[in-house]
Amino acid sequence: MQKVSLICLSTLYFTAKGKAIQTLRAERQKIRNTGQAPKNLAKCIVEKWSCLSMHEVIYMKAEFEPWWMFEEWEEKVVSRKTFVRKTEAEAYRHQLMEQLKRKYPQSEIREEAFAAFWREGEIEYCESCDDDMQMYHGILWLKNGSPIKSF
């Protein structure tokens, strides 16, 4: 048996959903009662939580399409929303895409991870390139920090 910090488990507790929470509650109660956890706790946590992924749906406005993900792309983020469940991220992404489709007549989608929307003539001046640049409204879907892949 080894001493375990409840902080780590609390983080999992607040990010987990559904049945996983019930399992974690039982594990936390055992640790509270004994002050110790089994030696294989790390392996147990990895097995129980490997199904959890972090999905992010990001809306950005930039002078480039979202799939380029240039070094400064995160500076262009307008909003980001995080989900544990893929279905929730997918539903939110769909809702956001429908809003942008109604607003912007031009669009291009690449894989599941990227979508760009724009209106010809929506330009902003770029000081570093000394030119007017087309503006794009982009959606990125990231899973654990990387663009989601289509299968």
- Residue pLDDT, tens place only, 14-72: 444 454 555 666 666 676 677 665 555 554 554 555 456 899 999 999 999 999 999 99
DSSP string, 75-132: GGEEEEEEESSHHHHHHHHHHHHHHHHHH-SEEEEETTTEEEEE-TT-EEEETTTTEE
Backbone angles phi, psi at 3, to 5 degrees: -70, 140
- Residue pLDDT, tens place only, 90-141: 999 999 999 999 999 999 999 889 999 999 999 999 888 899 999 999 999 9
Mean pLDDT of 69-77: 94
pLDDT at 11 over 80: no
Report yes or no on whether pTM surpasses 0.85. Answer: no
Strand partners, 19: none
